[in-house]
Amino acid sequence: MTALDQERILASLRAVAGPDGTGDIVGLGLVSDILINGGKVMFSITVDAARAHEMEPLRAKAAAAVNAIDGVESTLVILTAERRGNSMATSAPPPRPAPARAHAHSSPAAHPPRPAPQPGSSAKPGIPGVGAIIAVASGKGGVGKSTTAVNLALGLLANGLKVGLLDADIYGPSVPRLLGLSGRPEAIEGRTLKPMEAYGLKAMSMGFLVEEETPMIWRGPMVMSALTQMLREVAWAPLDVLIVDMPPGTGDAQLTMAQQVPLAGAVIVSTPQDLALIDARKGLAMFRKVDVPVLGIVENMSYFIAPDTGKRYDIFGHGGAEREAARLGVPFLGAVPIEMVIRETSDAGKPVVATDPDGPHAAIYKAIATKVWENAKGGARPAPAIVIE
C-alpha cells in the first residue's frame, strides 16, 4: 500500500471525535501505526485505562469510518491503554503492528459489545454452532506441537467429525505453512471472516492476515484482543470440534482461551526428555488453575526406526511422557515417532494424515484423535494439583 492509502485512512479517522467529544482522534495523537495488508486494516486507539469500558462506541465509530473507504475489506481496531511516543498524528513510519497495550474486550464494529461476565460468575459463552473446543499446548517450543495439532485435527476429521483449526500462536503462526494455505480470508457479513479451508478443515491464523516475515511485536492484551476476534468473528459453524494450536508456554494466549470460551479440555504435547517434561508439568499446572480438564499427554519424537536396518533408537529417551502421565494421573494418548515423512509432509504443506491416510503414521494420529474425542465427550479429569518449587 502507498502513503496515499494511509492518508485516506487518517483522513477518515479525523472525522471521529475524541473521547470527550473535542478534537479528533488523529489530531489528539490517539491513533497508532496503521498496518495494511491487502484490504485488511489494523490499528489501535489509545484511551484512558480507567475508561476503557466506556470507549467501545468510539472504537466502533473509528472502525465504521475506515470500513466506509473503498477497497477496505475488514478492520481490526483495538482499544489500547498505553500511549505511543510516535503516533500517526505526527509521523507515518512503515506499517507494522503497534506494540501497544490493548484492551482485551474489543470487538468488531458490526456487532454490539458483549456483556462482561458478572463478578463471581464462571459462565463463559460458547461459540455459536461450535461443539467442543480443545486446546493443544506445550510447555516449551520445538516439541512438534503444531504438527501434532494439524494431524490431530485431520485425525478427528477422518473419524467423521466436522473440524476447525485455530492457529492461536500469534507470534509464530505455522498453520498456513503446515496446511499449504496462502492468500487472505474473505470478509462476509460485515466484520465476520470466512475461514480458509484445506483437506476439509476450516482454518484461521494471524498468518493469513500478515506477511510471513512480518514480526508480531504485540504485548499481551493486544494478543488477547486478536485471539478473541479470531474466535468470535470467524464463521466457524457448523463444527463438532475446534482445535486450537496454542503458543508454547503459559501466558496471555492460554489465559485468554481459558477465560473467553468453555474449553472441553487440553492436550499436552511433550518430548520424552526430562527438560521437556518439566515444562509440560507447568502447562498442566496452568490448566488446573483455570479449571480446564487435561485430556491427555502425547509423547512426540518418541523413537526413531532406522529405514535401512529397522533398528530402533530412542534419541530423546522413550516413555518419559507416558510415565509422567501415569504419575500425575492423566491419560496417555500415544507416542509419535521421529519420521522423515512426517517432517517432509509438514514442511510441504501436505500433512501425513491427509496425504497418506492409510499409512502407519496416519494410524497413530487417528488413534490419538479417537482417545482425545472419547475423553472430551466423557469429561476427562481435571489436571492434578502440581506444586512447582
Distance CA 388, CA 238 (A): 40
Distance CA 108, CA 3 (A): 25
Determine the pLDDT at residue 384.
38
Distance CA 22, CA 8 (A): 21
Give, rounded to a whole angstrom, the gap between the first and last alpha carbons of the chain.
51
**pLDDT tier, 313 (very low <50, low <70, confident <90, very high otherwise):** confident
Determine the pLDDT at residue 337.
94
What is the set of domains in the chain, with CATH numbers? 3-80 (3.30.300.130), 130-378 (3.40.50.300)
Residue with the three cell numbers 507416558: 322
CA distances from 46 to 19, 35, 76, 264 (A): 10, 16, 14, 35
Determine the pLDDT at residue 306.
85
Distance CA 72, CA 90 (A): 23
Percent of the residues in the chain that have a pLDDT greater than 90, as a whole number: 36
Residue with the three cell numbers 474486550: 105
Kindly tell me the burial class for residue 262, based on how many C-beta atoms sit within 10 Å of its own C-beta (0-12, 13-18, 19 or more).
Answer: middle
Distance CA 143, CA 356 (A): 22
Determine the pLDDT at residue 211.
65
**What is the model's pTM?**
0.68
Determine the pLDDT at residue 13.
94
Distance CA 76, CA 238 (A): 24
Query: 234-257, pLDDT tens digit by residue?
Result: 999 999 999 999 887 666 667 777
Indicate the helix (H) or strand (E) that contains 265. Answer: strand 265-270
Query: 71-103, pLDDT tens digit by residue?
Result: 888 777 777 654 443 333 333 333 333 333 333
**pLDDT tier, 212 (very low <50, low <70, confident <90, very high otherwise):** low
Section 218-230 average pLDDT: 71
Per DSSP bridges, beta strands 239-245 and 130-137 are parallel
Residues 6+ apart with CB under 8 A from 350: 180
Task: Look up residue 19 and give its amino acid.
Answer: P
Residues 6+ apart with CB under 8 A from 344: none
**pLDDT tier, 24 (very low <50, low <70, confident <90, very high otherwise):** very high
| Contact predicate 54/22, CB 8 Å | no
Section 155-182 average pLDDT: 92
Determine the pLDDT at residue 299.
93
Query: 29-77, pLDDT tens digit by residue?
Result: 888 777 776 677 877 788 776 676 678 889 889 989 998 898 888 777 7
Query: 329-373, pLDDT tens digit by residue?
Result: 899 999 999 998 999 999 999 999 999 999 999 999 999 999 999
Residue 24: DSSP 8-state: B
The tally of CA atoms less than 13 A away on the side-chain side of residue 208 is: 26
